[in-house]
């Protein structure tokens, strides 16, 4: 971000929260909507209006209360269906949002000054807002979970659509990779284990809590901010090396022996067990990789590349025999793109998706021609470890209009989303009929997305 843009962003942030403060002082609060036994206040709408800024399309005094009303319908149904989200999942997003706000404000103190609230209350309000959003989203997903689409429906939907109205598919790539893990000397492993033993002694002696040490020293960014705390998880959801040690724990006051996983080395403390799931906290430490060992791995990869280019071995066979990446080793080195929401797997990546997986890999692949093998490079893998790799661009499909033969999955998802929206529309219509809804007369003159609010 350049200096002028950053200065503009900070000024905008300051203006928003100054306006928010003025709104809180000058606006006489009132109940403008009632949905069931839940009230929607004018102050709630004002807060969201100022947060959205110019991003909101339409009349904010129509759009925002309707959004809040829909969320309240989802939340009420979520209680009935026992849908919830863990505090650990919510806290992860809270910390991200809070850090964004602190960065924009300049410091925690300035953020408190802008919002006229102490940090504890800012965090609490953010927690409640994000938790409600996550629960409402899960409720929405459950309502759409039974939506199915067959190939005939997809063809019928797109059959008479003009070509310029078809979805635009961004450039996608298929990538093969060979990964080498640089050698970790035993002295470095002993150093890491020594640190974990020291933490264990400090916890057992009562001089420092497990949570404090996790916040200070754990190299797992997702859990460190929560004092190492993880959500309830089953044994099969965890790395086997971690799970075997974690599920052997029975005493919440004891610290586990050192566990080794694909992520590094851990000590673990049991928090609770519920059926076949457990909740624990952990501290992760990763051995550091010396530059000399990285250089050695790069030399080996350079030799492998020379053999591939010289026709002595194919990239596929080299991946099978030499790669340390078990996820691609038995798949001809081909990277898989897994949709975390649906579980569906594809070999195609948009460049933004590849960059999210590994910025170093994306930068390398972007410069390759189809069939070309890259120079050896270093990257951080999905386990957070420094590894060395060579990549081959197997295929590149340039930006184009979607076709049934090439992009069936994308087109199927579009039709599925449309059917899902129809399910949501019908569900909201039924809820509007069976739920007490009252809107103040001054707030009724709107073109709502969903008819049926005004009775």
DSSP string, 268-291: EEEEEEETTEEEEEEEEE-PPPPH
Phi-psi region of 300 (alpha: psi -120 to 50; beta: other; left: phi over 0): alpha
Are residue 83 and residue 179 in the same domain, yes or no?
A: no
Are residue 436 and residue 342 in the same domain, yes or no?
A: no
- Domain containing 354 equals 172-183+289-401
Q: How far is CA 399 from CA 171, 339, 406, 436, in A?
A: 4, 21, 12, 49
* Residue 73 β-bridge partners: none
* Residue 111 CB partners (closer than 8 Å, separation 6+): 101, 102, 105, 119, 122
Kind plus residue range of the DSSP H or E element containing 263: none
Write the DSSP assignment of 198-258 as a string of letters.
HHHHHHHHTSS-HHHHHHHH---HHHHTTTTB---EEGGGS-HHHHHHHTT---TT--PPP
Specify the number of domains making up the chain.
Answer: 3
In a domain, 127, yes or no: yes
Last residue in a domain, options 228, 254, 285: 285
In a domain, 449, yes or no: no
Are residue 10 and residue 113 in the same domain, yes or no?
A: yes
In a domain, 448, yes or no: no
Burial 26-37 (b: 16+ CB within 10 A, else e): eeeeeebbbbee
Taking the C-alpha atoms of residue 96 and residue 103, their distance in angstroms, rounded to an integer, is: 11
Are residue 281 and residue 293 in the same domain, yes or no?
A: no
In a domain, 413, yes or no: no
* Residue 173 CB partners (closer than 8 Å, separation 6+): 348, 349, 351, 354, 365, 393, 394, 395, 396, 397
Query: Per residue in 155-197, pLDDT tens?
Result: 999 988 898 899 899 999 999 999 999 999 999 999 999 999 9
Query: Per residue in 219-245, pLDDT tens?
Result: 998 788 889 998 888 898 899 999 999
35 has a pLDDT exceeding 90: yes
23 has a pLDDT exceeding 50: no
Q: Percent of the chain scored above 70 by pLDDT?
A: 92
In a domain, 455, yes or no: no
Are 239 and 261 contacting, i.e. CB atoms less than 8 angstroms apart?
Answer: yes
In a domain, 453, yes or no: no
Taking the C-alpha atoms of residue 21 and residue 109, their distance in angstroms, rounded to an integer, is: 16
Query: Per residue in 281-291, pLDDT tens?
Result: 999 999 999 99
Phi-psi region of 62 (alpha: psi -120 to 50; beta: other; left: phi over 0): alpha
Are residue 277 and residue 295 in the same domain, yes or no?
A: no
Are residue 47 and residue 15 in the same domain, yes or no?
A: yes
In a domain, 406, yes or no: no
**Local structure of residue 188 (DSSP, 8 states):** H
| 65 CB burial (10 A radius; 0-12, 13-18, 19+) | buried
Look at 34-38, 41-45, 107-111 and tell me which has the smallest mean pLDDT: 107-111
Taking the C-alpha atoms of residue 411 and residue 414, their distance in angstroms, rounded to an integer, is: 5
Question: In this structure, what CATH number is given to the domain that contains residue 248?
Answer: 3.10.50.40
Are residue 271 and residue 370 in the same domain, yes or no?
A: no
Are residue 221 and residue 257 in the same domain, yes or no?
A: yes
pLDDT (mean) for 432-447: 92
pLDDT (mean) for 75-86: 89
Query: Per residue in 292-307, pLDDT tens?
Result: 999 999 999 999 999 9
Are residue 281 and residue 367 in the same domain, yes or no?
A: no
Query: Per residue in 383-416, pLDDT tens?
Result: 888 999 999 999 999 999 998 888 888 899 899 9
Q: Which residue, chain included where needed, has tokens 């009349």?
A: 59
- Angle of the 315-322 helix axis to the 291-309 helix axis, nearest 10: 150
Q: Is 84 helix (H, G, I), strand (E, B) or coil?
A: coil
The whole-number pLDDT of residue 342 equals 61
Last residue in a domain, options 253, 285, 317: 285
Last residue in a domain, options 285, 304, 321: 285
Taking the C-alpha atoms of residue 82 and residue 278, their distance in angstroms, rounded to an integer, is: 19
* Residue 384 CB partners (closer than 8 Å, separation 6+): 219, 220, 263, 264, 286
Q: What is the mean pLDDT of the chain?
A: 88
The whole-number pLDDT of residue 9 equals 43
Are residue 310 and residue 177 in the same domain, yes or no?
A: yes
Angle value at C-alpha 333, between 329 and 334, nearest 5 degrees: 125
């Amino acid at each position: 971000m350049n200096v002028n843009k950053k200065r503009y962003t900070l000024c905008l942030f300051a203006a928003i929260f100054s306006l928010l403060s003025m709104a809180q002082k000058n606006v006489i609060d009132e109940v403008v909507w009632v949905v069931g036994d839940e009230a929607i206040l004018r102050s709630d709408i004002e807060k969201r209006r100022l947060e959205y800024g110019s991003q909101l399309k339409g009349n904010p005094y129509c759009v925002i209360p309707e959004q809040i009303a829909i969320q309240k319908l989802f939340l009420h149904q979520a209680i009935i269906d026992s849908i919830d989200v863990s505090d650990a999942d919510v806290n992860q997003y809270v910390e991200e949002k809070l850090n964004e706000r602190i960065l924009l404000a300049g410091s925690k103190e300035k953020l408190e000054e802008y919002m006229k609230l102490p940090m504890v209350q800012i965090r609490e309000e953010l927690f409640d807002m994000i938790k409600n959003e996550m629960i409402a989203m899960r409720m929405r997903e459950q309502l759409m979970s039974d939506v199915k689409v067959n190939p005939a429906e997809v063809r019928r939907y797109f059959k008479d659509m003009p070509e310029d109205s078809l979805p635009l598919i961004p450039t996608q790539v298929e990538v093969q990779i060979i990964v080498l893990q640089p050698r970790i000397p035993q002295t470095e492993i002993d150093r890491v284990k020594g640190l974990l033993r020291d933490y264990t002694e400090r916890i057992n002696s009562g001089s420092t809590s497990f949570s404090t040490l996790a916040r200070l020293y754990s190299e797992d960014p997702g859990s460190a901010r929560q004092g190492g705390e993880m959500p309830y998880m089953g044994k099969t959801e965890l790395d086997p090396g971690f799970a075997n040690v974690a599920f052997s724990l029975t005493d919440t006051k004891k610290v586990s022996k050192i566990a080794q996983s694909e992520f590094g080395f851990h000590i673990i403390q049991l928090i609770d067990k519920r059926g076949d799931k457990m909740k624990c906290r952990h501290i992760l430490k990763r051995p550091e990789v010396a530059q000399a060992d990285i250089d050695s791995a790069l030399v080996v990869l350079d030799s492998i590349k020379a053999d591939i280019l010289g026709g002595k071995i194919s990239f596929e066979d080299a991946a099978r025999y030499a790669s340390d990446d078990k996820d691609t080793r038995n798949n001809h080195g081909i990277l898989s793109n897994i949709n975390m929401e649906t579980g569906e797997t594809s070999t195609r990546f948009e460049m933004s998706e590849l960059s999210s997986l590994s910025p170093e890999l994306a930068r390398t692949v972007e410069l390759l021609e189809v069939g070309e093998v890259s120079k050896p490079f270093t990257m951080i893998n999905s386990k957070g470890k420094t590894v060395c790799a060579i990549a081959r661009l197997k295929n590149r499909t340039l930006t184009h209009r979607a076709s049934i033969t090439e992009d069936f999955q994308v087109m199927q998802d579009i039709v599925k989303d449309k059917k899902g929206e129809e399910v949501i529309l019908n569900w909201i219509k039924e809820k509007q009929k069976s739920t007490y809804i009252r809107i103040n007369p001054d707030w009724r003159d709107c073109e709502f997305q969903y008819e049926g609010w005004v009775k």
